[in-house]
Each structure stands twice: as C-alpha cells, then as structure tokens.
Chain A
C-alpha cells in the first residue's frame, strides 16, 4: 500500500511540475513579447534612442520573467525532491501546488509586460524623463509580481506541509480547491496591476510634471486591483488550515473543490476590471492634475463596483466551506 501512495504522489508531482512551468511560461512569454513589440515601435520613431530603449526593454523583461522563474522553482521541486508519501492527500497537495503556481504566474507575466512596453514608447516621447519612467516601470512591474508570490506561498505550503493525519475525504477537495483559488484569482490581479502600471508610464511620458501624483495613484490602483488575489489567498488558507471531519460521501469534497473554483474563477474578472478602471484614473490625472480629487473619487467608486463580483464569489465560496 505504501508503494501505491508513493507511485501516485510521484505521478501527481510530475503532472503538477509540468503544469507549473507549462502554464507559468505563458504569461512571461506574452509579457516579454509585448515589451519587445513596443520597443520596436519606439525605436522606429526615434532610432537615435535605440540604446536606451533596448536597455529599458532588457530590464523590463528581466522583471517580467520573475513569475516564470517562480514556476520553474516549483516545477523543479516537484520533479526532483523526495516528497514523503504518507497519505493520498499528498497526491492532491502536490498536484494542487503545480496548478496554483502555473495559473498564478500567468497574470503577473502578462501584466509586467504593459509597463515595460509603455516605458519604452514613453522614453522616445520624453527622453528627458527616461530615468523616472524606468523607475515607475520597475515599481509597477514589481507590484505586478505580488499575485504570483501569493501563488508561490500557497504552492510551498502545499508541498512542505504534512497532510498525513488528514482524512482523504473531503480533504483532497479542499487542497485542490486551495490551489485553484490562489492560482486562478492571481491571473486577474496580475493583469489588472499591469494595465494600471502601463497607463502610469504612459501618463508620465505625456506629462512628466505629474510624476508624483501619477505614481501614487498607480500604487493605490494596483493595491486595490490585488484584492481579488488576496481574497483568493484567504480562501486558500481557510481550505488548507481548517480541519474538516471525515466523510463517507462525495458531496463535502465537491463543495470544497467548488469553493476554490468559485473564488479562483470569480477573481479573474474583477482584477482585470479594476485595472482598467484604475488605468483610466491614472491616465487622466496625468493630463488633468488639478481635478485629481474628482478623478480619484470616480476611479475608486468604479473600482469598488468592479470589486463587488469578487466579493460575491468570496461569499459563495465561504458558504460552500462553512454552510454546505
């Protein structure tokens, strides 16, 4: 029997490892490709600044690659470490770790490409503020990586925790749900944060004098756009750390799996929507700094409304955990 568990754990770890780097590579590749396309567009407008644009592209791509490096780390751990196989719950845990990191890296990789691309174009428009643009791009790209760090944390908890004493039914559903909640909800927040940061770089290039309010509003917008990922992380933690009593039926496991899916999928749209709402605020504050109060208020109300669907998803998710 011990051998059987080990075989299944290995199988799940290989599958999880493949999914981790497979999905994880998608986002970084799109983000890096977008940056390169914008860099080409910028160079064609002013070939004399090719060196500076190239430098900015390289630095932006290095940051955009971080999420896929996290995915590579999880994949390598799953493929080559000796994971103790003391329970069938571990099978679900290692597979969920790969899912969490794979999905979690998509949004951050894509998102980090937007500020890097906008900085390359902006640099050609306003060469005198290239330093400020690069700093703004780097801060924006770094914040975009936060949802993938949440997914990495959940993956590590799933890989390194001992689930030996947990009952297989319904814990496997909770564990898989945790991976899905953290991974899927990170997609929207990563992309949304990137959209805001891209608008910020564009705004600074149009109106360099507005660098301080634009950067501050960008950080505010990114912080709010991260909320669905934080809700996903919260649901994932509840699913991992709450002890569920043993069950003979399939329903509780499905309810817990459904809870993770609900929060994960439900977090994608709000993250992107909040990013779009915030990008409008950042973009127009750069052009019309004197109306910053009204613009920020409108932006925050718009973001709050976009956020509501993530809250509905979280409520249903909690109902599935605690009521059903």
Chain B
C-alpha cells in the first residue's frame, strides 16, 4: 500500500468534510422546503472542493516543470480555477433553481471547514488538558 502524501491527505480530509457538511445543511434546507438553497449550497461546495483539489494539483505539476513552462502553466491553472469557481455563480444567477447566497456560502465551505477544524481542535485540546 502506498503512503498518501500529506497534502493529498489534507485535500481528501477537507474536501470530504466540506461536502459532508454541505449535504447535511442541504438536507436541513430540503426538510424546511428551501430547495433552491439546498441545491445552491451543495453545488457551491462541490465547486469549492474541486478548486481546492486543483490548487494542490497545480503546485505538484508546476514544481516538476521548467521555470518558464511552470510560470505559464501556473497562470493557466489559476485562470482555469477561477473559471471553475465562476460556473456555479453563473448558474445561480441565471437559474432560479439555485439560490445565489447559499451558492456563495457553499463556495467558501472548504475555508470554513479548515478554520472550524483547527479552532475546534485547539479548544478541545485545551479543554482536555
């Protein structure tokens, strides 16, 4: 069995946590009959996770290339990642099936999970101590 590199492990951990949280919040919205908000938060979180995974992959690829090619590829990848983030926003603006504000919240789900994870660990650790 090959060891998982730490950055892949962290992508997997935060990506899956963000999706799990989004689905849980989405289910609550679904129960409350806010279907557009449910779709928005799940779609935003999905694209947030894709962006986070691509961010790590970009760095891996850029490191292995020559300097000029690496700069060009890094720039291209940033453009690609921002285009990926723009897709759910475009859909939420154009289609009433998706709520815009919950899509925006979903796009920041990975960042929220990272913060919540570290802060909760810090408080749990100090409480146990």
B127 at the interface (CB under 8 A from A): no
A58 at the interface (CB under 8 A from B): yes
Q: Which residue of B lies closest to A215 (CB)?
A: B122
A293 at the interface (CB under 8 A from B): no
A77 at the interface (CB under 8 A from B): yes
A139 at the interface (CB under 8 A from B): yes
A58 near B59 with CB under 8 A, answer: yes
Binding site for B on A (CB under 8 A): 21, 29, 51-52, 54-55, 58-59, 61-63, 65-66, 68-69, 72-73, 76-77, 80-81, 131-132, 134-135, 138-139, 142
B114 — which chain A residues lie within 8 A by C-beta? Answer: 59, 62-63, 138
Binding site for A on B (CB under 8 A): 5-7, 10-11, 52, 55-56, 59, 78, 82, 85-86, 89-90, 93-94, 100, 104, 107-108, 110-111, 114-115, 118-119, 121-122
A52 — which chain B residues lie within 8 A by C-beta? Answer: 6
A61 — which chain B residues lie within 8 A by C-beta? Answer: 55
User: Can you offer 30 A-B residue contacts whose CB atoms are under 8 A?
Assistant: A51-B5, A51-B6, A52-B6, A54-B59, A55-B6, A55-B10, A58-B10, A58-B11, A59-B10, A62-B110, A62-B111, A62-B114, A63-B114, A63-B115, A65-B55, A66-B111, A69-B107, A73-B107, A76-B90, A76-B93, A77-B100, A80-B90, A132-B122, A135-B119, A135-B121, A135-B122, A138-B114, A138-B115, A139-B115, A142-B115
B118 — which chain A residues lie within 8 A by C-beta? Answer: 134-135, 138-139
Cα distance A61–B110 in the bound complex, in angstroms: 12
